[in-house]
Amino acid sequence: MSVSVVTTCKNRTDYLLETLNSFLSQPIVSEVVVVDFDSTEPVYNKLSDFLSNSKLKVLRVDNQPVWKIGLAQNIGINFAKADYILKIDSDVGIFDLKPSLELISAGNCFVRGRSQLGVSSGLVLFDKASHISTGGYNDWITGWGYDDGDFYRRLYAKGLTSFNFSKDDFFEIKQSFISKNVNVKTLNSVVFSDDSGLASKPKFTALRNFIFCNIFEKKTGSKPLFKYIETSPQLFSVEIINDPDLDKQAKNYIEIANCLAFSFYSQGFDADDINSTPKLFELIEMIKKN
């Protein structure tokens, strides 16, 4: 059994420099895939101390000013060669991966993080076949929040069960909650003004992403295609080939999700209130039927 570690980065290389060695040093890890999603200074330029390790692969994505976290994750996972994938945030490091692999060896399951149990909710171990069967992460999510929740929801729908990571096997670099959206400059909207800076507010973007993922269901095979162009043994540039019709449809639903999220957020509701807001679920179902 081997594992590909996949992590994404946009202008947060400082965290990656603190955790990367913990990925590379795991004997069971066959490769570490870093997706550099249009960072101002290319991540590869800052990794000179690690380039002697052939496990490391850096995928550079250019001309993507909007931080699409799900798209970045799919780029890395699609590239990864191992049968098992550990998707991990760049501010989370690994002490020991073996106990988690013992859990997933049961089959038809995945291992996930839960912040309430002391492990980042952005940490998940799964077999690559499950990623393919669910269609992967939602490619159009922007900003922090619900990218993993949506993926977990579809894994459960496929009949998989889940185990929880042990907090003793990982470490996390602490950061302020608001900094999670520090690189999100826009709501990815052409009709919605963001004068109040909603794009930088994690609890708004998590609410918006929840709405978007539930009104624009991720379908297997409904995704952009990726072309990986090798520029050196450890560096690849990525070309994203979009389906224009699907992209247009997704953007229309993003506009709806932005407006609906704003209507609730302006009344004092945010991502923490989703399960106690039945009216939101009623509106989601109404939109899906139409």
Per-residue confidence band for 195, with pLDDT thresholds at 50, 70 and 90: low
CB 170 within 8 A of CB 95: yes
The pLDDT of residue 177 is above 70: no
Q: How many domains does the chain have?
A: 1
CATH number at residue 205: 3.90.550.10
User: Which residues form the domain of 176?
Assistant: 3-289
The pLDDT of residue 268 is above 60: yes
How much is the average pLDDT of 31-51?
95
Contacts of 171 (CB under 8 A, 6+ apart): 22, 92, 93, 95
The pLDDT value recorded for residue 62 is 96
Write the pLDDT tens digit of every residue in 206-253: 999 999 999 987 655 556 789 999 999 999 999 999 888 888 888 899
The pLDDT of residue 178 is above 60: no
The pLDDT value recorded for residue 218 is 62
Question: Which of 151, 148, 143, 142 minimizes the C-alpha distance to 119?
Answer: 148
Provide the greatest CA pair distance for the chain.
55
**How much of the chain exceeds pLDDT 70, in percent?**
92
SS3 41: coil
How much is the average pLDDT of 152-175?
93
Per-residue confidence band for 97, with pLDDT thresholds at 50, 70 and 90: very high
Q: What is the mean pLDDT of the chain?
A: 89
The pLDDT of residue 67 is above 60: yes
